[in-house]
Amino acid sequence: MRTIRYFIDKRASETPDKVYMFAPEPGLELTYSRLRQDSIALAGYLASRGLHKGDKVSFMLGNGYQTAKIFLGAMYGGYVVAPLNLMAQPSQLRYVLEHSDTKLVFYTKDQEGKLKEAAAGVDRPVELVEIDNDAESILPPDVGSPRGGLPEIDEEDPALLLYTSGTTGLPKGVILTHKNMVAGGQYTAMAHELTPDDRALCSLPLYHINGEVVTAVTPLVSGGSVVMPHRFSTGNFWELISEYRCTWFSVVPTIISYLCSATEIEGRGLNLDQLRFGRSASSALPPSLHKAFEEKFGVSIVETMGLTETAAPVFSNPMDPARRKYGSPGQAVGNEAKIIDKEGNEVPRGVEGEIMIRGDNVMKEYYKAPEKTREALEPDGWLHTGDLGYMDEEGFVFVTGRIKELIIKGGENIAPREIDEALYRHPAVLDAAAVGIPDEVYGEEIMACVTLKPDASVTVEDLRKHCLEHLGDFKTPKVIRILEELPKGPSGKIQRLKLPKIVEELDS
């Protein structure tokens, strides 16, 4: 039975005293036995508030001891978790509260103003429950199992309602079932050869699919453990790995870039011998940055790729470094993959097309959006990812861009990633993103926006010369802007389609 409840019960029965989660800030540990006990209590509490199986339970919380327990415990009780993005704008937050049909939201004091303002605009009651994320318990002492016992749950029952970052228009709500969540954890464990002896460091938020499935569900499925600090910090990243004996971590390219620029490990008395690998996902990892990190820290990075619609993992490079390919997120693990042309036909190896995915990790539907569901999901289960790429003879996928982000200059297709990677090779560039902008001559021209590494200095003209050298005249951006920061979603993925509006506002 592939449900979150099954695996919590299994771990509590087989290894009750093993620690599932370490919470560094309050210094708390959560055993599998306590996880099951607290999950039952949470189910009882929610039932006492009038909620029933399938109702939506939200949280507006940073990572921490209670966040992880609410995330897993609500699913254990048969409820659907609908996390709220701490980075959401007020209008988007109000939309998600309304659209998700959430009945109750757990939050911390620092989110009160923003949450209450959004909830006030919802045309139905939403119960708001303030908690202390670092408290050992947030429930009344006398709460127990729901009256009549826990409801039966099935692997096809919804478990998570997660909204995509919404780079354009309103966000879409992705419904993932218990089967999807478990499959995501199983595929991650399979890709990285995880065992009960492995311990993950969670550096990504639990309102994003990567943090949720890769570093919260995967240890549950594989019988391992997770270290759950409040947030990622360059100041304590390596110390946490050393102190808690983490064997792996999951990050995004932006974090890798920050670590390369801001941290050193020599002479700090760190014990990293147990660290097997790091995992990078959520956006493409530039090969130059990939190699720079491995050379600097001596830590192997496994590039992967996932989507909200696929419960995170889709592709992964092999664990054997000799078999990995820089610039590729790897091969399909657990699920199937193929590349199709505009007519829906599978193309030969090496030919570019849309990347398609099928497997037990693929979402059930978009919430309240049957037309969008039909556009994304074929009747035979294949998911349109919206990503362009090709597959080589060994099954490694190379992503060349997004269908909607493709720059078409003078009828020539240009993948923004190609421009990004050239800019990332400049030693002063921290983040880079290219996007198409209207042009009277070519239809579209290229604009590139960058942020610089701390204490770095470079002129627009220097960057233009760099691009001419690496890209040639046709692909060199017409416009280059140096910004203080680039817009990003919760996973750290740059939201490039927002850049033209941001630059327009800066120039007005």
Q: What is the mean pLDDT of the chain?
A: 94
Please state the separation of Cα 358 from the chain's center in Å.
19
- Strand pairing class (412-414; 407-409): antiparallel
pLDDT in tens, 225-267: 999 999 999 999 999 999 999 999 999 888 998 899 888 998 8
Q: Indicate if the pLDDT at residue 371 is higher than 90.
A: yes
Question: Looking at domain 4-391, what is its CATH homologous superfamily?
Answer: ANL, N-terminal domain (3.40.50.12780)
Q: Indicate if the pLDDT at residue 99 is higher than 50.
A: yes
Mean pLDDT value of segment 61-79 = 98
* Inter-residue contact 226 to 32 (CB < 8 Å): no
Q: Indicate if the pLDDT at residue 421 is higher than 80.
A: yes
* Inter-residue contact 248 to 218 (CB < 8 Å): no
CA 249, CA 37: separation in Å to the nearest integer?
28
In the chain, domain spans:
4-391, 405-507
pLDDT in tens, 29-48: 999 999 999 999 999 999 99
Mean pLDDT value of segment 314-321 = 97
454, exposed or middle or buried, with CB in 10 Å at 0-12, 13-18, 19+?
exposed
Q: In the chain, count H helices and then E strands.
A: 15, 25
CA 301, CA 366: separation in Å to the nearest integer?
33
Please state the separation of Cα 319 from the chain's center in Å.
21
pLDDT in tens, 9-29: 999 999 999 999 999 999 999
Mean pLDDT value of segment 100-123 = 97
Q: Indicate if the pLDDT at residue 217 is higher than 60.
A: yes
Which pLDDT does position 143 carry in this prediction?
A: 87
Which pLDDT does position 168 carry in this prediction?
A: 44
Task: Evaluate if pTM is beyond 0.75.
Answer: yes
CATH of domain 405-507: 3.30.300.30
pLDDT in tens, 121-164: 999 999 999 999 999 999 998 888 888 899 999 999 999 999 98
| 165: confidence class by pLDDT, cuts 50, 70, 90 | low
Which pLDDT does position 167 carry in this prediction?
A: 38
Mean pLDDT value of segment 459-485 = 95
- Strand pairing class (248-251; 28-31): unpaired
CA-to-CA separations, 53 to 2, 77, 391, in angstroms, rounded: 17, 8, 42
| 493: confidence class by pLDDT, cuts 50, 70, 90 | confident
